[in-house]
Structure 1
Amino acid sequence: MRTIRLLVIVLALGMHTFAQDKDIIHIWPGDVPGETAPKHPAHPTSDTTHGVVRLTDVTDPTLQVFRPARPNGAAVVICPGGGYKILAINLEGYEIAKWLNTLGFTAFVLQYRVPDKEQGALQDVQRAIRLVKSRAAAYRINPDKVGVLGFSAGGSLSARISTLYATDSYPRVDAADDQSAKPAFSVLIYPAYLDKGEHRTLTPELKVNADTPPMFLFATADDFYGNSALVMAGALRDAKVPVELHFLSYGGHGYGLRKGNPAADTWPSLAAKWLAPYGR
């Protein structure tokens, strides 16, 4: 009897893992706006340096769903980085989703269009947030507690949707597009490309105002892109938007959650504390 019970448990766990691996949402049911190439799975590059899986040639944007054992009613759309060239899909996607699951958040890893499709990426994240909200009941989440988290170029994309959510970037597809694309909160970890204004000021595209969602920013002084977090924090402060900025001396760029880097060892606990109210 005990053997049978153990077998049932093992099979159940295996089915859960399989179901999670296959829980993928194709965010555009028909034609992808502005895309001329046919839909196909993203291509992994031959570069696997530091154990990072790098995807490129994304023509069929997707959300992969990671469900927590104990949902807290909130969700996060994750935007991996990669310079708008590739997506560091495991380092800044799957590994982050599993961490968020431990905090109770339902996580959605976004494969947005790359390479060199920044407008397409904005369309993808805007549609992704609307889709998640439209399926809130199915995923046991509150549509008013759907946030965004991004790294590097994904941090840029998260900042863009946080400031451009009210401007429709594509024609309405279906009822999901009746939802607001505004994130409830934004987490930007070593964001890039936010300081393209004159004299390295805020990128003009980013229209920060009092309605911009609360934001958590983390970066380091030795990161080439570190100024991005500083200028964004200043703009949010000036607009009286709740903002929390952490700026360490060392850590560089592209570390994700992996141990052994002082920044990677620091930001998760700070972000978890900041995120906690959204899971209540």
Structure 2
Amino acid sequence: MAGLVLPAATCRSQSQSPSASRYSDGGSGWNRPAHIRPDDSLFLWPDDILDIPDGLAEEVLQRSDDPLASDRIAQNIVKPRLDIFRPAEPDGTAVIIAPGGGYRYCVVDKEGYELARFLRDRGTTVYVLFYRLPADGWANGNDVPLADAQRAVRLVRSRAKLERIDPARIAVAGFSAGGHVATSLMTRFDAGVYDPVDIADAAPARPDALVAIYPVVSMDSAIAHIGSRDRLIGTKPDAALTALHSPEQNVRADMPPLFLLHAEDDDVVPVANSMRLHQAASETGTPVEAHYFAKGGHGFGLMKTAGLPVAIWPELLWNWMNAQQLL
């Protein structure tokens, strides 16, 4: 079957040999003109490390009928991986993007490949992270997205020389539920959520900068995105589990600089998620740049901002990255 972007034989980590893929494109076709293709893919884990839940088979579905647009989702992730976008002249910076999808799926284009193209075209090496989803039957499901995010940073850092990037200039960005993946990594980058598997795991998992775009943050039922919360920690979590998976309750003084973006009219993930994290991070002395726009709703990515002031957000992000000396 067709892979997400490339034949499975091209997708491997340092410790892997080529292996069969289970990916399906859902019949959408891969020659649509709007598709953005990465240059390569990298599986996060060596073969046979993951105990894939019975019956779980990955597929990619197309949600748009527009032949000039693409809005795909990847669900039932069985081979967590990084899709790599390499610029012609790397500037030394790397950005790992965690797409959203309410912990039900990963949004491929709108919250992954579109930002990857924007950054790649300006010289940044970009990795789009397709992480495992917590309600798919994995053991320790509420920690598998964080484990994949930690592993992704360590792999990218361990391959810095090969990819011509600076191991001290690695940012992580996340949209919506991917924002929860990213902000969990920001606060729990050294949490022991998996056993080391190879030399890459000697590298630190702390990002050098963190970007959260209309992020799911808190598991507090008063402001949580209930779908993400239920899939991550269940419908009746105890107070300790709720707190552990609420990044605003786990801020620390050694977090990386933070960029926050949210629309105040977001009716899916309340803006209070970003505002609580903003306040908590600022109290630790962490540098925070936050942008709150009156209109934009949820899930706008780079594709649904026409005519709105929020359309300027990619430039705001680029300027912030420059100010952090990432570029």
Counterparts in 2 of 1:27-38, with a 5 A limit?
27-33=44-50, 35-37=52-54
- For the pair 1:253 / 2:276, whether they are aligned, the reply is no
Counterparts in 2 of 1:1-280, with a 5 A limit?
21=38, 23-33=40-50, 35-37=52-54, 42-45=58-61, 47-48=63-64, 51-114=70-133, 116=135, 117-192=141-216, 194-197=217-220, 200=223, 204-205=243-244, 206=247, 207-224=250-267, 225=269, 226-258=271-303, 259-260=305-306, 262=308, 264-276=310-322, 277-280=324-327
Deviation at 1:227, TM superposition (A): 1.2
Note closer, same or farther for the CA distance 1:46–1:273 as it changes in structure 2 (3 Å cut).
closer
Partners of 1:178 and 1:115 lie apart in 2 by: 25
Which stretch of structure 1 is more off in the superposition, 204-213 or 234-243? 204-213
* Unpaired runs of at least 5, structure 1: 1-19
Partners of 1:279 and 1:147 lie apart in 2 by: 8
Deviation at 1:22, TM superposition (A): 5.2
Post-superposition CA distance 1:51-96 (Å, at most 9, x none): 4101101011010110112211110110000000011111111111
Note closer, same or farther for the CA distance 1:240–1:28 as it changes in structure 2 (3 Å cut).
same
Partners of 1:83 and 1:166 lie apart in 2 by: 24
Deviation at 1:196, TM superposition (A): 2.4
Partners of 2:197 and 2:255 lie apart in 1 by: 25
Partners of 1:261 and 1:159 lie apart in 2 by: 29
* Unpaired runs of at least 5, structure 2: 1-36, 136-140, 225-241
When the two structures are superposed, what TM-score results if normalisation uses the length of structure 1? 0.85
When the two structures are superposed, what TM-score results if normalisation uses the length of structure 2? 0.74
Higher helix share: 1
CA RMSD of aligned residues (A): 2.2
Partners of 1:198 and 1:79 lie apart in 2 by: 23
Deviation at 1:271, TM superposition (A): 0.6
Partners of 1:139 and 1:37 lie apart in 2 by: 35
Partners of 1:146 and 1:234 lie apart in 2 by: 24
Percent of residue pairs bearing the same amino acid type: 35
Look up the equivalent residue of 1:143 and give its one-letter code.
Answer: P
Note closer, same or farther for the CA distance 1:262–1:166 as it changes in structure 2 (3 Å cut).
same
Answer whether contact 1:56 1:115 (CA < 8 A) is retained.
no
Answer whether contact 1:100 1:106 (CA < 8 A) is retained.
yes
The aligned length equals 258
Note closer, same or farther for the CA distance 1:174–1:39 as it changes in structure 2 (3 Å cut).
farther
Deviation at 1:112, TM superposition (A): 0.6
Q: What is aligned with 2:232?
A: none
Answer whether contact 2:172 2:210 (CA < 8 A) is retained.
yes
Note closer, same or farther for the CA distance 1:200–1:39 as it changes in structure 2 (3 Å cut).
closer
Deviation at 1:156, TM superposition (A): 0.7
